[in-house]
Amino acid sequence: MKTYTNVKDLGNLQQAVQEALEIKKNRYAYKHIGENKTLLMVFFNSSLRTRLSTQKAGMNLGMNTMVLDINQGAWKLETERGVVMDGDKPEHILEAIPVMGAYCDVIGVRAFAQFEDKFFDYSETIINQFIKYSGKPVFSMEAATAHPLQAFADLITIEEHKKTARPKVVLTWAPHPRALPQAVPNSFADFMNEADVDFVITHPEGYELADDFVRGAKVEYNQMKAFEGADFIYAKNWAAYQDPNYGKILSTDRNWTVSERQMAVTNNAYFMHCLPVRRNMIVTDEVIESPQSIVIPEAANREISAQVVIKRLLENS
């Protein structure tokens, strides 16, 4: 594996999950692979889980780890080529990236969708520049359109908790006061479409995700109907993808907040969310605190998904 930006980079998904479960049994088994290697994590956006779990994964593999917060203490970066740099950005990403590449062996990048230009976001302009100009293996720590470390951890968590061979998994939109990227639902859909699950997406009209990620999965606009018989409920907010509303909030309807009312029609479903989560917007206190909530083990599996990815990048570079 030379880069990790989406599900396809993992190759055989079942094999990747097995590798993850093996690593989870002894996460220090490969502590020599990363000896004298340096992991650089570059953040254009905030993070709690990704920052800690990815750093921990690197340390489990014996790596040295460095974190750069672009917006705190680094120079502001111009990302477009051809601009006269007479504004507030003293450095261009085209110099910054190869410089960062010179100091490390593997680079993780977090660069969310900016919602200013759909084409800029969906071309994955920022992470693709890292891939092109760093000279080092690059992995996504949530890019503009995908969060594959999260979705891989989600799949591992579903594998660990499922009670039937082919569980029903429902991705539901839920309300949120600020416009959030489609990266998490995109990647979750991408992974579920490749996994052996009965996958259903539910959201209000206007929140349709990109076809490349939905890939013909079932979309049910009636949330209660979608929840019937579900084994896993995966909640997430996202802003509209479709034109002309790209990046806009079309609904804040709290009837979509996941509560005991909807959970009652499921097959005693587990509740999942990538976190951070706004309580009583996305999900009620009762549901997230219930024994069926697996948000903490889900977050814990981020260390494992990151470790599989970094291990593979180290092995093949």
Q: Which residue's CB is nearer to ligand CP, number 127 or number 226?
A: 127
Minimum distance from residue 316 beta carbon to ligand CP (Å): 25
* Single residue of 274, 295, 308, 313 touching ligand CP by CB under 6 A: 274
Please give the residues from 36 up to 65 whose contact with ligand CP meets the rule CB under 6 A. 47-50
Q: Are 202 and 217 in contact (CB under 8 A)?
A: no
- Residue 17 backbone phi and psi in degrees, to 5: -65, -40
Please give the residues from 264 up to 293 whose contact with ligand AN0 meets the rule CB under 6 A. 274, 276
Interaction partner, residue 48 (ligand CP, ligand AN0, none; CB < 5-8 Å by kind): ligand CP
Cα gap 64→28, rounded to integer Å: 15
* Single residue of 150, 262, 266, 305 touching ligand CP by CB under 6 A: 150
Q: Does 184 interact with ligand AN0 (rule: CB under 6 A)?
A: yes
* Single residue of 1, 183, 230, 269 touching ligand AN0 by CB under 6 A: 183
Phi-psi domain of 119 (left: phi exceeds 0; alpha: psi -120 through 50; beta: other): alpha
Cα gap 106→248, rounded to integer Å: 35
Measured CA to CA in angstroms, residue 155 lies from 67, 106, 151, 221, 271 at distances of 27, 24, 6, 24, 13
Cα gap 295→73, rounded to integer Å: 32
Question: For the window 123-152, what string marks contact with ligand AN0 as x by the rule CB under 6 A?
Answer: -------------------x----------
Q: Are 58 and 27 in contact (CB under 8 A)?
A: no
Instruction: Name the one range near ligand AN0 by CB under 6 A: 52-60, 71-79, 123-131, 178-186.
Output: 178-186
Residues in contact with ligand CP by CB under 6 A are 47-50, 142, 150, 274-276
